[in-house]
């Protein structure tokens, strides 16, 4: 398409202007994170990478990051496994109640955590299960499984049936077909799902906030909220902590951005 030089310049101006709007908050927190934490530090210079180590220790981020990793590993591995199994059934088999069951799973994509968190807390408290890693992880497994079932069903439906038929003629069982043919073939779809589930779990706030009232299983985002409440003076350490909390997902995003964008755009329920 031909456009005039003026329009082209204008377009670049818009492109750059908009990028600046997006980058300003990101840059401002990075600048603050490397800035002086207090007046005496300010006298020693303007660049303070030591803030990260100080925030890590003072904010107990070693512990919180550890919890976050534990929760993420549990949620992602369980949810991926369960979603592959259920998606396989919905995508390749027909059975009674299939539609009703599938719509039940779809429901879970729309239900906000706010709706289930209240009964979850009080019911699990009755059984003495709050303040366990399971109370933090399992509700998130349920959320992720709703999406995962939908996502994997779409993948299994997209597989050419002749591939499965050929394997069946060779005498492969349903489980064998899944493990040795469909899962390896579906690596891109599964990777996208893993990446999304990891991001959702790492960034989740309400569920770990409520389900671990003592703070024993406080995840990294909660650690940041707690740190903000504790250190009201000075912004450098808080900014450094914020950067550390965001970093794992942001690094993953830069490495696998195609999966992030594809997943979030295609994952929207359109049925």
Partner 1 sequence: MRALPRASSTIGAPGRHTARQGLAITPYLFIAPAFIVYALFMLYPLARAVHLSLYDWDGLSLATFVGTGNYTDILADTRLRAAFGHAGAFIFFYAVLPCGIGLVLAAVLTRAKVRGLALFRTLVFLPQVIAMVVVSVAFKQIYAPDGLLNSVLRSIGLDGLTRAWLGDYVFSLPAVGLIGSWVSTGLVTVLLLAGMARIPAELFEAARLDGAGAVREFLYIIVPSVRAELTVALTLTIVASLKTFDLIYMTTSGGPGSSTTVPSYEVYRRAFETGQVGSAAAIGVTLTVIIFLVTLAVNRVSERGA
Tell me the closest approach of the beta carbon of residue 44 to partner 1, in angstroms.
22
- If the CB atoms of residues 50 and 226 are measured against partner 1, the closer one turns out to be 226
- If the CB atoms of residues 29 and 41 are measured against partner 1, the closer one turns out to be 29
Give the Å distances, CA to CA, from 146 to 117, 140, 151, 221, 264. Answer: 16, 10, 9, 23, 15
- If the CB atoms of residues 41 and 101 are measured against partner 1, the closer one turns out to be 101
- If the CB atoms of residues 50 and 267 are measured against partner 1, the closer one turns out to be 267
Tell me the closest approach of the beta carbon of residue 185 to partner 1, in angstroms.
16
Q: How far apart are CA 44 and CA 52, in angstroms?
A: 17
CB atoms closer than 10 angstroms to residue 257: 11
Give the Å distances, CA to CA, from 160 to 107, 129, 157, 167, 250. Answer: 28, 45, 8, 12, 35
Tell me the closest approach of the beta carbon of residue 76 to partner 1, in angstroms.
14
CB atoms closer than 10 angstroms to residue 204: 22
Answer yes or no: are the C-beta atoms of 131 and 213 closer than 8 Å.
yes
Tell me the closest approach of the beta carbon of residue 103 to partner 1, in angstroms.
12
């Amino acid at each position: 398409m031909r456009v005039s030089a003026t329009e082209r310049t204008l377009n670049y101006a818009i492109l750059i202007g908009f990028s600046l709007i997006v980058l300003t908050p990101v840059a401002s927190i990075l600048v603050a994170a490397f800035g002086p934490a207090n007046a005496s530090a300010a006298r020693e210079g303007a660049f303070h990478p030591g803030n990260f180590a100080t925030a890590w220790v003072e904010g107990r981020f070693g512990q919180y990051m550890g919890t976050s990793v534990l929760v993420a590993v549990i949620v992602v591995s369980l949810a991926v496994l369960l979603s592959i199994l259920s998606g396989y059934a919905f995508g390749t088999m027909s059975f009674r109640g299939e539609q009703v069951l599938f719509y039940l799973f779809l429901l879970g994509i729309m239900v906000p955590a706010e709706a289930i968190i209240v009964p979850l807390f009080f019911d699990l408290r009755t059984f003495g299960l709050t303040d366990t890693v399971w109370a933090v992880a399992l509700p998130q497994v349920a959320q992720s499984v709703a999406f995962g079932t939908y996502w994997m069903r779409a993948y299994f439906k997209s597989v050419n049936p002749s591939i499965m038929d050929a394997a069946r003629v060779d005498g492969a069982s349903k489980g064998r077909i899944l493990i040795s043919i469909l899962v390896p073939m579906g690596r891109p779809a599964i990777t996208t799902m893993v990446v999304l589930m990891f991001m959702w779990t790492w960034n989740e706030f309400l569920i770990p906030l409520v389900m671990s009232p003592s703070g024993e299983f406080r995840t990294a985002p909660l650690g940041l909220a707690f740190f903000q409440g504790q250190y009201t003076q000075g912004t450098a350490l808080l900014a450094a902590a914020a950067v550390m909390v965001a970093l794992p997902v942001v690094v993953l995003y830069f490495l696998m951005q195609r999966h992030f964008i594809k997943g979030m755009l295609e994952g929207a329920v359109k049925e």
